[in-house]
Structure 1
Amino acid sequence: MDDQHMQIGEVAARTELSLRTIRHYEETGLVTPSARSQGGFRLYTETDVTRLVVIRRMKPLGFTLDQMRDLLDATDRLDHGADVTDEEREALTDRVRAYERAASEQVDKLRVQLARAEEFAATLATRLRQGPGTRA
């Protein structure tokens, strides 16, 4: 698979997550370093980086740590579950599909919030261009 190991600093730079956040995700069981160096440093692989990117993308959409764990479990089992029955594969796919729907719904809500925020910023900019004592 991927035998190239990276230390946590490189992983943090690649995932745009802080060292503290990566350690927190390790403590909560969302991601586990694939290895440790002789000096005890955490060592990560591309697979670990991919997991962290999934987590980073789920967080702003409001998914809980348990939901993140559940989705990662489902995708891990789909990706590496040679012994998964057809029935289990269908159930796992349904779980992933439910997360996709939830993510899409949250993206739609965020688009509305962003549009409102942009309208507000534009209102303020208009007010500032009009000068003091005017109403927007």
Structure 2
Amino acid sequence: MQIGEVASRTELSLRTIRHYEETGLVVPSARSQGGFRLYTETDVARLMVVRRMKPLGFTLDEMRDLLAATDRLDGDDARLSAGEREELLERVRAFERAARQRVADLRTQLARAEEFAATLADRLTGASAPQG
């Protein structure tokens, strides 16, 4: 599929997708005869991983590291030893733990923001009541 369809499916801008290509996170699987980027379902899945990591504050290097680990685990590399496989799985587990912690941190921030908004609403309600 072309970049426009990928952008629509992933809800990422064309500019963002091109940026991820420039940084090596997601490289189109092919190019058309006219030079247009062509993406596969696997490419879209990679973009979705990146899209989900971004709001959690993961860096591009961390995204690259996770994608490299999952690529190796998903690959058909028969030379992957049991030790290497376990090391890769541990890297993915570390990302899972980090993601869960970041989600918990965001929930705390959201609760504080909601409390603040409620405090302001209460103040405004009290300020607009007739003084008497």
In the superposition, the TM-score normalised over structure 2's length comes to 0.92
Structure 2: where are the runs of 5+ without partners? none
Aligned to 1:97: 93
Structure 1 runs (4+) greater than 3 angstroms displaced: 131-134
State the one-letter code of the partner of 1:74: A
Aligned to 2:58: 63
Aligned to 1:3: none
Identical counterparts, % of pairs: 75
Pairwise mapping of residues 63-82 of structure 1 onto structure 2 (< 5 A)?
63-82=58-77
Aligned to 2:122: 126
What are the superposed Cα offsets for residues 55-90 of structure 1, whole Å, 9 maximum, x if unpaired? 011111111101100000000100114321111100
Counterpart CA distance in 1 for 2:92 and 2:76 is 15
Counterpart CA distance in 2 for 1:104 and 1:81 is 29
What are the superposed Cα offsets for residues 15-48 of structure 1, whole Å, 9 maximum, x if unpaired? 1111000000000000000111111111101100
Asked whether 1:88 is paired with 2:51, we answer no
What are the superposed Cα offsets for residues 96-123 of structure 1, whole Å, 9 maximum, x if unpaired? 0011111111111101000001111112
Counterpart CA distance in 2 for 1:8 and 1:130 is 52
Q: State the SS of the aligned residue for 1:38.
A: coil
Counterpart CA distance in 1 for 2:76 and 2:90 is 16
Asked whether 1:38 is paired with 2:33, we answer yes
State the one-letter code of the partner of 1:115: A
1:52 aligns with one of 21, 36, 47: 47
Q: State the SS of the aligned residue for 2:35.
A: coil
In the superposition, the TM-score normalised over structure 1's length comes to 0.90
* Cα-Cα RMSD: 1.5
